[in-house]
A and B are shown apart, each in its own frame.
Chain A
C-alpha cells in the first residue's frame, strides 16, 4: 500500500493532523492500534474522567445544598449504569470521529504499526480487514503515538486491585478504600471521583506537595478541601511496596516517622505518564529520542528524520490533548509549506478537581527559577458576588504582570469552574495584552470571569470591590 501522508496514532493530535491534511488536499492514512479512534483523551483520559467528575460534582453539590435548607437523601449509586453511560459518551464521540474520517476520505487502518525504515511501516494485528497488505509506504509520517501510564515494576501485581488510570476509569466497583499513589492531577481527579462515590480515599505523594507543577498558593484551597474529602493525604511519604493480601492490597509506607503499613481495597498508581516511543521501530529511522524517550523535534514538529514529524505526548511535555492537536496542525501546515511554527506563549493547564486549578503562561515558581521580575496581584473570590452566591469563595485569580511593560505574563486561577475562565487569559497572553487591556475590557457581571478584569484593576491600583490604599506614586 502507498499513501502520501501517514498519521500514526488516532488521538486528539493524530486525528486533528489527519483531518486538516485531508482538508488541505492530501491523501491521508490514519493508523490506530485501538479499535476506536480518540486516543487516550477520548478512550481513557480527558473525556471519561470528566464524565465521572461531573457525577462527583453533582453528588457534592447536592450534599452541600443542606446549607441552603435543601436536604437530599444520600444517593444510591448504580455503578453499572454509570459505566454504561460513560461508555456511551465515548462510543458517541468515537463514532463521530469515524464518520468525520470517512467524510474526509481519510483511510483509517486499525493495526499495530512499526517502522521498517523512514518511509515504510509494517502493519499487524488490529482489524486486518482494514488493510490489504501488511506494509504501507509513505512520503511523510506524522508520529502521534501518545503516551502510556507509567507503572513502576515494584507496583506491578497480578491483580486488578492495583490499577492505572485506565483501570480506574473502567469503574469495576466502588471500593471500600482506595489508595492513590501520586498526588498529580490524574490521581487527584480520579481520587475525587471515587471519594464522592463513597470510597475512603487516601493519597500518598513522595514530594512535599500535591500538584508539584502548580504554584503553591493555587494548590492550598484545593488541599484544604481535599483534606475533608479524603481520608488521608500523606506527603513526603514513600511507598515501599505492595503486597496482594487477597481481600486487599497491603501497602508499605515510609516517611520521616519511620515505616508502617496499611491495607486498601484498591490501589491507583498515578505516578505520571511516559512517551509511547518504544517498540515502534524508530531505531530503523533517523528519529532521535531524548533521555526521557521523547521524540526530538524542531519548531515545525519535524524530527531528525526528514520523512517524519512528531506531535503530542510522544514529542514532549506538557502531555496535554490541546497541545497535541495544535502541534498536529502546525506539523501539517509546515509540511505544506505554510509559515506555521509551534511557538505558544501560553499552554493552558487545568486540573479538574473541585475546586479546579487552572493556569497559563508563566507561573510564579517558574518566574522565581528563571529570575523573571513580575508583579503578582491576587483577586480573592470572596470579593466576587458570583462566588459568594455560589457559596464558593475559597478561590482567587492571580495575574503575573511584567512591571515595566505591564504585559500579562501568566495567570493562575483556583476556584470552581476556574478552567472555563482561563481561556481569556490565554488570549491575553498570546496577544501581548497589558493589565490595562484586561481592566478596560468590560467583563460581564455577575460572572467568575470578572475576576480577571478585577485582578487587572488591582494591578493598576484600584479595584471596586477591594479597598487598598494607593501606594504613593513612584518618583
Chain B
C-alpha cells in the first residue's frame, strides 16, 4: 500500500497549476522532502517537495498536466516510513511527526531554509517549523520595547545561509536577508559579491541601488507573499497617530490647494547678510524663520485662516494667538512641534525657537503639550526636494502651507525685462468649509508680498 502525495495547498488562493516538470519516475527511491514536481501556478514555478520517503510506485501526472489542490501526484511505497506515512495521509496533513530531521530539507533549500519554512507548500512543513528551532531561545526574547533584533529564531546548525562573518555583516548593513540570496559559490556559498548583486537585483536599476543601504528595513518578521519576500512590522505609536490624523483630516475636510510662488531674491540677500551677525550663537537664520514671520503677520491680517471649525456646534473659532506648527521629518516619522506666539517674536528669536523644537523633535524629547495648540502649520518639504505638493491639513488648523525648493528662474519683471530671480514655490491647502478661494488667495498674496519685500517684514513688530 502506497501513500499518495497530493498537490498541497499552494496558498494565496491558488487552486490549480500546470506541471512543468516531473523530477521522478516510477521505481525511483526518494528521500523525505525531496523535490518531485515543478508546478507553475500563474504566479511562479515552485518545486514541490514530497514529505514521504520511499519508492515511487506510480506517477499520476506528466509534463503539462493541469492539476488542482488535492490531486494525487505520485504514490510512494514507504519502507520504514510506511506506517507514520499512512497515518499522515489519513489524518490531517499537519500531523507530520516532529521527528522530521531538520537536515532532510532538500539541498536547494539550503540558502532559503528560513523562508522555505514559512512558504513551504506542504502544510506539514509549516507545522514543523517551530520544532526545528531551539526552544530556550524564545525565553531570550527581551521586553517588547527593545525594538531591536532578537536572537530567538536562530535556524538550526547547517540551515543557516553559508556565508562568512564579513558577508553576514555586509548583508545586515545593506538590509539583505541572506536566506533569500542564492550563493554563487560551491554548494551555494554566498560571497559579498552575491549580497551586492542581490541588492542590485531588488533595486531594479543599479542607480537606485545606491540608495538601498539607507533603505534597510526596520525590524519585523519576514514572510513571503506570492511575489516575494515582505517584512511585516509593527506601526510605531507616532506612525499610528499620523495615520489616524491624516485619514480623518483627508476624509472630513474638503481640501483645496492653491499653488503660487514668492520672489525671495531680496530676502535671501538680507538673510545671507544677516547671518554673519549670528555666527557662533545658537541662532541659525534660516529661510523658515522669515517665512514663519511672514505667515504670522499675514494670519493676523486674515483671521479666517487662523481659525478652527466646530461643526458640532456650527461655530467658527477665531484664534487670537498665532501658534505655528512646524513639520519636522524625524527618523520615527513626521512630528509637528508648535512654536507659540510667533507674531510677537523677532525673526532671530523665531530662528532660535526653530532650532530648539527641531532638536527636540529629532531627539524625541518633547512633551505631548509641545505638539498641541497650533493654529497653522508650515511644512518645508523643499529642504528635502520637490516644488509643489498638496499638503493635508493638520486639524484643528484650517490651512497648511508647504514650501517647495527655491530655485532660480527667468522671471519677467517690470519693463518686460527678463531677470534671474530666486523663486520659492508655495502650496497652500485650506479647509473649504470656512476658507473661501478668495480668502486663501488674498492670504497667500500677503505672505508672498512680505517675502518679496522683506523690509515690510523687518518693520513688523
Residues of A within 8 A of B106 (CB): 404
Complex Cα distance, B102 from A367, in Å, reads 10
A-B contact count (CB 8 A): 114
Residues of A within 8 A of B312 (CB): none
Contact of A370 among B107, B156, B168 (CB under 8 A): B156
Contact of B165 among A300, A316, A403, A430 (CB under 8 A): A430
**A contact residues vs B (CB 8 Å cutoff):** 286, 288, 290, 296-300, 302-304, 306, 316, 334, 339-343, 345, 361-362, 366-367, 370-374, 402-407, 409-410, 430-432, 434, 436-437, 475
Complex Cα distance, B154 from A437, in Å, reads 25
Q: Do A405 and B187 touch across chains, with their CB atoms under 8 A apart?
A: yes
Complex Cα distance, B151 from A475, in Å, reads 40
Complex Cα distance, B146 from A334, in Å, reads 13
- If the complex has contacts A296-B139, A372-B158, are A306 and B107 also in contact, measured as CB distance less than 8 A? no
Chain B, range 135-183, C-beta contacts under 8 Å to A: 139-143, 145-146, 148-151, 154, 156-158, 160-165, 168-169, 172-173
Q: Do A407 and B145 touch across chains, with their CB atoms under 8 A apart?
A: no
Whether B134 sits at the interface, judged by CB under 8 Å, is yes
Contact of A371 among B29, B102, B145, B164 (CB under 8 A): B102
- If the complex has contacts A302-B146, A303-B142, A405-B107, are A371 and B100 also in contact, measured as CB distance less than 8 A? yes
Residues of B within 8 A of A286 (CB): 143
Whether B188 sits at the interface, judged by CB under 8 Å, is yes
Residues of B within 8 A of A431 (CB): 164-165
Contact of B160 among A298, A306, A345, A437 (CB under 8 A): A345
Nearest-neighbour CB distance to chain A for B188, whole angstroms, equals 7
Closest to B103 in A: A373
Nearest-neighbour CB distance to chain A for B307, whole angstroms, equals 41
Whether B101 sits at the interface, judged by CB under 8 Å, is yes
Contact of A306 among B141, B145, B151, B165 (CB under 8 A): B145
Q: B99, B106, B134, B169: which has the most chain A beta carbons within 10 Å? A: B169
Complex Cα distance, B168 from A339, in Å, reads 10
Complex Cα distance, B185 from A436, in Å, reads 13
20 contacts between A and B (CB under 8 A): A288-B142, A290-B139, A299-B148, A299-B149, A300-B148, A302-B142, A306-B145, A339-B172, A341-B151, A367-B157, A370-B102, A372-B101, A372-B158, A373-B102, A404-B107, A405-B110, A405-B188, A432-B161, A434-B186, A434-B187
Residues of A within 8 A of B132 (CB): 370
Residues of B within 8 A of A371 (CB): 99-102
Complex Cα distance, B172 from A463, in Å, reads 39
Complex Cα distance, B186 from A405, in Å, reads 9
Residues of A within 8 A of B161 (CB): 432
Q: Do B103 and A297 touch across chains, with their CB atoms under 8 A apart?
A: no
Q: Do A299 and B156 touch across chains, with their CB atoms under 8 A apart?
A: no
- If the complex has contacts A403-B103, A404-B110, A436-B186, are A298 and B157 also in contact, measured as CB distance less than 8 A? no
Question: Considering only CB atoms and an 8 Å cut-off, how many residues of chain B contact the other chain?
Answer: 42
Q: Do B107 and A299 touch across chains, with their CB atoms under 8 A apart?
A: no
Complex Cα distance, B157 from A403, in Å, reads 13
Complex Cα distance, B99 from A409, in Å, reads 20
Residues of B within 8 A of A410 (CB): 157
- If the complex has contacts A298-B150, A404-B110, are A373 and B145 also in contact, measured as CB distance less than 8 A? no
Complex Cα distance, B46 from A390, in Å, reads 57
Whether B104 sits at the interface, judged by CB under 8 Å, is yes
Residues of A within 8 A of B102 (CB): 370-373
Nearest-neighbour CB distance to chain A for B150, whole angstroms, equals 5
Closest to B185 in A: A432
Residues of A within 8 A of B300 (CB): none
Complex Cα distance, B134 from A368, in Å, reads 13
Complex Cα distance, B101 from A370, in Å, reads 8
Closest to B169 in A: A339
Closest to A367 in B: B157
Whether B86 sits at the interface, judged by CB under 8 Å, is no
Complex Cα distance, B185 from A437, in Å, reads 12
Q: B139, B142, B157, B172: which has the most chain A beta carbons within 10 Å? A: B157
Nearest-neighbour CB distance to chain B for A12, whole angstroms, equals 20
Q: Do B187 and A373 touch across chains, with their CB atoms under 8 A apart?
A: no
Complex Cα distance, B29 from A475, in Å, reads 10
Residues of A within 8 A of B142 (CB): 288, 296-298, 302-304
Whether B271 sits at the interface, judged by CB under 8 Å, is no
Complex Cα distance, B143 from A303, in Å, reads 8
Q: Do A374 and B103 touch across chains, with their CB atoms under 8 A apart?
A: yes
Complex Cα distance, B32 from A111, in Å, reads 60
Residues of B within 8 A of A432 (CB): 161-164, 189-190
Q: Do A342 and B151 touch across chains, with their CB atoms under 8 A apart?
A: yes
Nearest-neighbour CB distance to chain A for B405, whole angstroms, equals 29
Closest to A299 in B: B151
Closest to A429 in B: B157
Residues of B within 8 A of A297 (CB): 140, 142
Q: A334, A370, A431: which has the most chain B beta carbons within 10 Å? A: A370
Binary A-proximity of B377-394 (CB < 8 A = 1, otherwise 0): 000000000000000000
Residues of B within 8 A of A370 (CB): 102, 132, 134, 156-157
Closest to B109 in A: A404
Complex Cα distance, B143 from A302, in Å, reads 10
Nearest-neighbour CB distance to chain B for A176, whole angstroms, equals 43
Nearest-neighbour CB distance to chain B for A333, whole angstroms, equals 10
- If the complex has contacts A290-B139, A340-B169, A373-B103, are A298 and B146 also in contact, measured as CB distance less than 8 A? yes
- If the complex has contacts A370-B102, A370-B134, A410-B157, are A288 and B139 also in contact, measured as CB distance less than 8 A? no
Q: Do B186 and A361 touch across chains, with their CB atoms under 8 A apart?
A: no
Complex Cα distance, B107 from A356, in Å, reads 36
Residues of A within 8 A of B168 (CB): 343
4 tightest Cβ-Cβ pairs between the two chains A and B? A432-B162, A373-B103, A304-B143, A339-B172
Complex Cα distance, B407 from A126, in Å, reads 65
Q: Do A402 and B148 touch across chains, with their CB atoms under 8 A apart?
A: no
- If the complex has contacts A298-B151, A299-B148, are A362 and B158 also in contact, measured as CB distance less than 8 A? yes
Complex Cα distance, B103 from A297, in Å, reads 29
Q: Do A362 and B101 touch across chains, with their CB atoms under 8 A apart?
A: no
Q: Do A316 and B140 touch across chains, with their CB atoms under 8 A apart?
A: yes
Closest to B143 in A: A304
Complex Cα distance, B444 from A157, in Å, reads 88
Residues of A within 8 A of B148 (CB): 298-300, 302, 334
Complex Cα distance, B162 from A437, in Å, reads 13
- If the complex has contacts A298-B146, A370-B156, A432-B163, are A406 and B187 also in contact, measured as CB distance less than 8 A? yes
Q: Do B173 and A339 touch across chains, with their CB atoms under 8 A apart?
A: yes
Closest to B163 in A: A432
Residues of A within 8 A of B139 (CB): 290, 296
Residues of A within 8 A of B165 (CB): 430-431
Q: Do A361 and B157 touch across chains, with their CB atoms under 8 A apart?
A: yes
Complex Cα distance, B137 from A316, in Å, reads 11
Q: Do A341 and B172 touch across chains, with their CB atoms under 8 A apart?
A: yes
Residues of A within 8 A of B101 (CB): 371-373
Complex Cα distance, B163 from A430, in Å, reads 7
- If the complex has contacts A296-B140, A339-B173, A430-B165, are A404 and B103 also in contact, measured as CB distance less than 8 A? yes
Q: Do A407 and B151 touch across chains, with their CB atoms under 8 A apart?
A: no
